[in-house]
């Protein structure tokens, strides 16, 4: 049975800058076997593109909503994208 590969653009709001959020997302995405990127935005939000097995992406969203002692997400908007070929890792963009 083949895993469905999905890709999403997402925008997280809340306490997501200056609290290690990008590293948190990168670490959890890598553990789940996902690829893509995450980046801080000037308006205080964080955007990302996440690609991989649908269940793994859903697991990442759950981890993002949970956060940790520092991270508090108050909003997470997601939008489906076309999967991209050739991407192998999850990067922090600056």
DSSP letters along 54-76, please?
Answer: HHHHHHHHHHHHH--SS-EEEEE
Assess whether 62 carries a catalytic annotation: no
The C-alpha torsion from 14 through 18 and 24 to 26, rounded to 10°, is 100
DSSP class of residue 18 equals S
Assess whether 7 carries a catalytic annotation: no
Catalytic residue among 22, 28, 39, 88: 22
Catalytic residue among 28, 40, 88, 93: 40
**Which residues form the catalytic set?**
22, 40
């Amino acid at each position: 049975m083949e895993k469905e590969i999905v890709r999403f653009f997402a925008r997280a709001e809340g306490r997501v800058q200056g609290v290690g959020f990008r590293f948190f997302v990168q670490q959890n995405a890598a553990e789940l076997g996902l690829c893509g990127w995450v980046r801080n935005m000037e308006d205080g939000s964080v955007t990302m593109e996440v690609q991989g097995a649908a269940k793994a992406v859903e697991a990442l969203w759950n981890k993002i909503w949970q956060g940790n002692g520092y991270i508090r997400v108050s909003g997470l908007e997601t939008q489906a994208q076309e999967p991209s070929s050739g991407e192998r890792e999850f990067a922090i963009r600056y």
